[in-house]
Amino acid sequence: MAAKYDLTPRIAPQLDRHLVFPLLEFLQERTLYPDEDMLKAKIELLNHTNMVDYAMDIHKSLYHTEDVPQEMMERRAEVVARLKALEEAAAPLINFLQNSSAVQELRADKQHNLQLLQERYQIGPDQIEALYQYAKFQFECGNYSGAADYLYQYRALCTNSDRSVSALWGKLAAEILMQNWDIALEELNRLKEIIDSKSFSTPLNQVQNRIWLMHWSLFIFFNHDNGRTQIIDLFNQDKYLNAIQTSAPHLLRYLATAFIVNKRRRPQFKDFIKVIQQEQYSCKDPITEFLACIYVNYDFDGAQKKMKECEEVIMNDPFLGKRVEEGSFSSVLLRDEFLENARLFISETYCRIHQRVDMGVLAEKLNLNYEEAERWIVNLIRTSKLDAKIDSESGTVIMEPTQPNVYEQLIDHTKALSGRTYKLVSQLLEHAQTQAAR
């Protein structure tokens, strides 16, 4: 079942191939697929990069040998030679950038800088282009720190807007791979501004850029301290939500999870449930189906079953299943938060429909034993999240009638609809009688 809900095959095509490595590492640790298949997938990925030494190590592990194919040795020689040539071509500019007193002469005006470099240091467009190619090559070799530094410096000198955006994507990938979440978030926001303001050749091209940005952002949002709020701010914007619904509905899993664990976003949550309702037949994911069970279909038995599936999905998702090690103890914090809030959603909605709830039935809906459920409800009432009291003798939770329940709200809506229908029919009859009298 776990592999059935693995989104890696859908997510990987939207990522730089280097960003796919952390996903494969996670899946290998979770043993979702045979180890041999994972090693083959890694080698296939590495064949399109310059990380030849890493590819050799995996080849040795896969085939249990110290020998590597001749083509790998030849490829390594090519990479070393190409790296040396690019380093020489970019050397004049790199040497300048390493001279702090010389760099202080640069200003915010790019044209001034280009003129200064040309006249005083004989550094022109060729050397600036060489810096970009060198940075890109370093990235392909897996030297993300060096690549990030050179791409930052390149963007300060680059006058080609398309190439500057390409360098920004590269720097974002490097910061993600180094797990520099604060810097990565800054680069992500820069890219978002460019994507939202830039004029693209076609609207489809702009949508594709938004799709890429959202996929890359998953690394940041599920690692950054404020990420769960930020993912709602980004994904729930109309332009981005439309892109998700038309081109990447699997991303609803992450937006739904953020809403479930983020209690401060309730006003936006109601609108999100409408999206879940629209997509419930096209997006088959346990986490979105869990919300549909509670808020669309009022199917609490279904929600209870989905909660168990959601737990497994979270444990085996590379973005949601991050483990936190504390001594010899290991836990997945998001799973614990998710289950706590999922039970809250079930109990709140179930109790608002039923004015008197049997504790045993509620325990079953929450996947808890009787004593755990009783403690959980007592704590819920104490923190004022639920207007209710417990009748220990009868073993029931009694809702306080502070607001109409779902059935009463439905009756009120029906009465209002009936009144409007009656008024409309009266107007039609009156109009018909007037016409007949003429």
The predicted-structure confidence for 52-92, as pLDDT tens digits, reads as follows 999 999 999 999 999 999 999 999 999 999 999 999 999 99
- How many CB atoms neighbour CB 123 within 10 A? 22
Q: What is the pLDDT of residue 431?
A: 61
Q: Distance between CA atoms of 215 and 247, rounded to whole angstroms? A: 12
How much is the pTM? 0.86
Q: What is the mean pLDDT of residues 98-113?
A: 84
Q: Average model confidence (pLDDT) for the chain? A: 88
**Per-residue confidence band for 411, with pLDDT thresholds at 50, 70 and 90:** low
Q: Distance between CA atoms of 110 and 324, rounded to whole angstroms? A: 45
Q: What is the pLDDT of residue 413?
A: 53
Q: Distance between CA atoms of 69 and 63, rounded to whole angstroms? A: 11
Largest Cα span, the chain: 103
Nearest partner of 343 among 399, 294, 270, judged by Cα: 294
Q: What is the pLDDT of residue 417?
A: 59
Q: What percentage of the chain carries pLDDT values higher than 90? A: 62
Q: Distance between CA atoms of 393 and 282, rounded to whole angstroms? A: 46
Q: What is the mean pLDDT of residues 394-418?
A: 64
Q: What is the pLDDT of residue 418?
A: 58
CB 362 within 8 Å of CB 350: yes
Q: 195 Cβ partners below 8 Å, 6+ apart?
A: 206, 209, 210, 213
